Structure 1
Amino acid sequence: MRGQGLGLELVIGAAEWLRDRGSAFVVIDWTNLAAFYGRAGAHVWRTYQRAVAELPAASPAVSA
């Protein structure tokens, strides 16, 4: 089913549904798909950078 435009139709339909109910804008927090959402009229407002930290092993005395 990929490539038939169904996802784009869903995004556009959801945005219209929200607009019709008073929403002035929508924030889509998934910038990896900026080109896809751009086809629905969205534009990049902010980008995020990931930060990763390796945690030390928990000591036996520490429990969750």
Structure 2
Amino acid sequence: MKRESGIGGDRTALTENRETVFRVVKFAQLIKAMIDTPIFNKDGDLVLSTEKRVRDLEDAAKGIPLPA
């Protein structure tokens, strides 16, 4: 099977690159969400909702395959 090429280059490579960029962006968004998640309140006590947030982010991260 012949791959289409031209000004846009190889379409298969373009699709793979888009998927890789999508995964990396999603992973970066998860990291940012973790950084923005408060761990302690102003009094230094553990924020109870943090555990649930961490579990939600962990579940989301499992759905993003890392590029090989």
TM range (shorter): 0.3 to 0.5
TM-score in terms of structure 2 length: 0.37
Compare the two structures and name the one with the higher helix fraction. 2
Report the TM-score, using the length of structure 1 for normalisation.
0.38
